[in-house]
Structure 1
Amino acid sequence: MLASVIFYLAFVVGVTSLNNGIGKLPKLGYNTWNVYQCDYNATVLLAQAQAIVDGGLLKAGYDTFMLDDCYSLRKRGDGGSIVADPEKFPDGMKSFTKSLKALGFNAGIYSDAGYETCAGFPGSYGHEVQDLETFSDWGFSYLKYDNCYIPFDQVTQENVYGRYVRMADAIESHAQQPGSTPFQLALCEWGWQQPWVWARRLGQSWRVGGDIRPVWSALASIINSASFISSSSDFYAHNDFDMLEVGNTGTGTPPGNLTFDEAKSHFTAWAFLKSPLLIGTDLANTISDTFEILGNKDILKISQDPNVGEAIVPFRWGANEDWTFDPVHPAAYWTGNSSYGVVFMLLNTLDEPQNMFFNLTESWAIRAGRVYSVYDMWSHTENGTALRNMTVTLPPHGVAALLLNDAGPEPENYEPYCAGYWQCSYPNGTYYSN
Structure 2
Amino acid sequence: MDRKRIRTTLVPAVTAALALASGAVALTTVSPAQALENGVARTPPMGWNSWNTFGCNINESLIRQMADAIVNSGLRDLGYQYVVVDDCWFNPNRDSSGNIQGDPSRFPSGMKALGDYLHNKGLKFGIYQVPVDKTCAQYFNSYPGATGSQGHEAQDARQFAAWGVDYLKYDWCSPNGTINDQVATFAKMRDALKATGRPIVYSINPNSIHSKTGPQRNWGDVANMWRTTEDITNKWDTGQTNGYPMGIQNIVNVTVPLASYAGPGHFNDPDMMEIGRGGMNDTEMRSHFALWAMMASPLIAGNDIRSMDSATQTILKNKNLIAINQDSLGLQATQVSNDGTRRVLAKKLANGDVAVALFNQGGSTTTVSTTTSAIGKSGGTVTLTDAWTNATSTTSGTISASVPAHGTVVYRVSSPGSSPSASPSASPSASPSASPSASPSASPSASPSASPSTSPVPGGCSATIKTINSWGGGFQSEVTVQAGSSAVNGWTVKWTWPGGQTISSLWNGRQSSSGSSVTVTNESYNGSIAAGASTTFGFTANGSAATPTATCTSP
Indicate the TM-score class for this superposition, using the shorter chain for normalisation. Answer: 0.7 to 0.9
Query: Following the alignment from structure 2 to structure 1, what is the Cα–Cα distance between the partners of residues 330 and 117?
Result: 32
Query: Could you tell me which residue of structure 2 aligns to residue 374 of structure 1?
Result: 384
Q: Given the two structures, how large is their TM-score scaled by the length of structure 2?
A: 0.63
Question: Which residue is equivalent to 1:267?
Answer: 289
Distance 1:287 1:116 in 2: 37
| Map of 1:211 onto structure 2 | 231
Which residue of 1 is the match for residue 121 of structure 2? 103
- Residue of structure 2 in register with 1:236 after alignment: 265
Aligned to 2:185, the other structure's residue is in SS state helix
| Alignment-derived partner of residue 284 in structure 1 | 306
Distance 1:390 1:336 in 2: 15
Corresponding residue of 1:128? 153
Q: Give the counterpart of 1:65 among 83, 105, 128.
A: 83
1:143 counterpart (168, 176, 180): 168
The answer to whether the 8 A contact 1:316-1:332 is kept is yes
Q: For 2:404, give the aligned amino acid.
A: P
Provide the C-alpha distance between the structure 1 equivalents of 2:344 and 2:383, rounded to a whole number of angstroms.
Answer: 19
| Cα root mean square deviation, aligned | 2.0
Aligned pairs (5 A) from 1:49-198: 49-120=67-138, 121-149=146-174, 159-175=181-197, 181-190=198-207, 192-194=212-214, 197-198=217-218
1:358 to 2:388 alignment: no
Q: Distance in 1 between matches of 2:360 and 2:280?
A: 15
Cα deviation, residue 387, structure 1: 2.4
Equivalent position SS for 1:75: coil
Quote the offset at 1:276 in angstroms: 0.7
Q: 1:321-400 to 2 correspondence within 5 Å?
A: 332-340=343-351, 341-363=353-375, 365-367=376-378, 369-382=379-392, 384-400=393-409
User: After superposition, what is the alpha-carbon deviation per residue over 1:155-175, rounded to whole angstroms, capped at 9, x for unaligned?
Assistant: xx9611011111112122222
Could you say what secondary structure the match of 1:266 adopts? helix
Amino acid aligned to 1:313? T
List per-residue Cα deviations over 1:358-401 (Å, max 9, x = no partner).
222122x222x31111111110122x211211331111111111
What SS does the aligned partner of 1:159 have? helix
* 1:247 counterpart residue number: 276
Contact map agreement 2:214 2:227 (CA 8 A) in 1: no
Aligned match of 2:334: 313
Contact 2:45 2:82 in 1 (8 A): yes
Whether contact under 8 Å (1:344, 1:403) holds in the other structure is yes
4+ runs of 1 displaced by more than 6 Å?
150-153
Change (3 A) 1:158 1:355: closer
User: What is the rounded CA distance, in whole Å, between the counterparts of 2:261 and 2:174 in structure 1?
Assistant: 28
Structure 1 residues 97-144: Cα deviation after superposition (integer angstroms, max 9, x where no partner): 111112111101111110111111511010000011111112212111
- Aligned to 1:110, the other structure's residue is in SS state strand
1:303 corresponds to 2:332: no
Q: State the secondary structure of the residue aligned to 1:316.
A: strand
Residues in 2 aligned to 1:281 and 1:137: alpha-carbon distance in whole angstroms: 29
Query: SS at 1:69's partner residue?
Result: coil
For structure 2, list consecutive stretches of 5 or more residues without a partner in the other structure. Answer: 1-31, 139-145, 238-246, 418-555
**Seq. identity, %:** 29
Q: Which residue of 2 aligns with 1:6?
A: none
Q: Would the aligned equivalents of 2:218 and 2:261 in 1 still touch at CA under 8 Å?
A: no
Q: What residue number does 1:427 align with?
A: none
SS of the residue corresponding to residue 168 of structure 2 reads: strand
CA distance in 1, matches of 2:310, 2:361: 26
CA distances 1:13-65 after superposition (whole Å, capped 9, x unpaired): x75xx332212110000001111111011111111111111111000000110
Task: Name the structure with the higher helix share.
Answer: 1
Structure 1 contact 114–151 (Cα < 8 Å) conserved? no
Q: Is the 8 A contact 2:259 2:333 kept in 1?
A: yes
Q: Secondary structure at the match of 1:332?
A: strand
* Secondary structure of the corresponding residue to residue 156 of structure 2: helix
Are the aligned partners of 2:343 and 2:359 in contact in 1 as well (CA < 8 Å)?
yes
Structure 1, gaps ≥5 residues long: 1-10, 176-180, 249-255, 321-328, 409-434
| Contact 1:196–1:232 (Cα < 8 Å) also in 2 | no
Distance 1:64 1:89 in 2: 18
Deviation at 1:92, TM superposition (A): 1.3
Cα displacement string for residues 304-355 of structure 1 (whole angstroms, at most 9, x for unaligned residues): 112x12111111103x3xxxxxxxx5x6111121134111101111111111
Change (3 A) 1:231 1:348: same
Contact 1:261–1:398 (8 Å) recurs in 2: yes
Give, as a single letter, the amino acid of the residue that structure 1 aligns with 2:325: S
Residues 231 and 312 of structure 1 are in contact (CA less than 8 Å); yes or no, is this contact kept in structure 2?
no
Residue range with higher mean Cα deviation, 119-128 or 353-362: 353-362
Secondary structure of the equivalent of 2:137? coil
Q: In structure 2, what is the equivalent of residue 418 of structure 1?
A: none
Correspondence for 2:54 among 29, 36, 45: 36
Provide the C-alpha distance between the structure 2 equivalents of 1:295 and 1:227, rounded to a whole number of angstroms: 23
> What residue number does 1:253 align with?
none
Q: Which residue identity lines up with residue 69 of structure 1 in the other structure? A: D
Taking the aligned partners of 2:311 and 2:126, their CA distance within structure 1 comes to: 27
**Secondary structure in structure 2 of the residue aligned to 1:234:** coil
Q: More deviation in 184-193 or 56-65?
A: 184-193
Asked whether the equivalents of residues 114 and 150 of structure 1 are also in contact (C-alpha less than 8 Å), the reply is no
- Residues 145 and 83 of structure 1: CA distance in aligned 2, closer, same or farther (over 3 Å): same
Q: Is this contact kept in 2: 1:196–1:229, CA < 8 A?
A: no
The number of residue pairs the alignment matches comes to 366
Which stretch has the larger CA shift, 91-100 or 294-303? 91-100
**Which amino acid counterpart does residue 44 of structure 1 have in structure 2?**
L
Tell me what 1:403 maps to: 412
Q: Is the 8 A contact 2:39 2:265 kept in 1?
A: no
Cα distance in 2 for residues equivalent to 1:29 and 1:268: 16
AA of the residue aligned to 1:131? D
User: 3-state SS of the aligned residue for 1:370?
Assistant: coil
